[in-house]
Amino acid sequence: VSASPHGNSVNKASRILTCPVLQKTCFSTSTAGWAPAVTQHAPHFKATAVHNGEFKEMSLDDFKGKYLVLFFYPLDFTFVCPTEIISFSDKASEFHDINCEVVGVSVDSHFTHLAWINTPRKAGGLGNIHIPLLADLNKQVSRDYGILLEGPGIALRGLFIIDPSGVVKHMSVNDLPVGRCVDETLRLVRAFQFVETHGEVCPASWTPDSPTIKPTPEGSKEYFEKVNN
């Protein structure tokens, strides 16, 4: 840890992520309530990202006409974070196949992102990844999305699914020690797209090969008769 570009900030984050006492400390988030809300437009962002080994400016406008999974994580060179990023990267082609992009965000600089990408996976690095990492060095994106912990100055594990019109369809937040399920994120995107295309609604644990419900009394009766035989 001492060799990472974060220095003391990583040591501080390590204590937060692993110490039960600190995990129970009441750090306040950046707003009294959520900044974004489901069914409302996502907060605009613009920042430098690292993608395919290059620095580039990236904004919410770049994803008009596509679904976007925007996920926040606490810090580079930590523990759970690389497992999430690599898992999203490994599924990048599956997201692309359904017109969806994935972007990771942390409060690190783009230089630190690049250093982490250039670190071998066996050494805790990311290696070659297929998704961009956005640098939220001034913490504004995390603050705008309502998931910044002001005390330690890092983001909770927030995840937002944004539709092609820029509207938030889903948001969830994990506490720092627990990672997210990429397959569940894929399932949710597919479900929202199915509803948008077909006008039917998706029941619990829906997958693309399972039945949906026509949102009418007759349609719901037909569904329940089918699944309860």
pLDDT in tens, the chain (229 residues): 334 444 554 555 555 555 444 444 444 555 434 568 999 999 999 999 999 999 999 999 999 999 999 999 999 999 999 999 999 999 999 999 999 999 999 999 999 999 999 999 999 999 999 999 999 999 999 999 999 999 999 999 999 999 999 999 999 999 999 999 999 999 999 999 999 999 999 999 999 999 999 999 999 999 999 999 8
What is the pTM assigned to this prediction? Answer: 0.87
What's the pLDDT at 8?
52
Rounded CA-CA distance 219/50 in Å is 47
Residue with tokens 């690190």: 108
pLDDT at 30: 53
DSSP per-residue string spanning 180-205: --HHHHHHHHHHHHHHHHH--B--TT
d(CA 103, CA 72): 9
Which residue of the set 81, 100, 181, 202 is catalytic?
A: 81
| DSSP code, position 63 | G
Q: Is residue 26 among the annotated active site residues?
A: no
Q: Give the chain's domains with CATH numbers.
A: 8-179 (3.40.30.10)
Per-residue pLDDT at 21: 40
Sheet-wide strand order for 157-162: 54-59, 46-51, 133-135, 100-106, 67-72, 157-162, 168-174
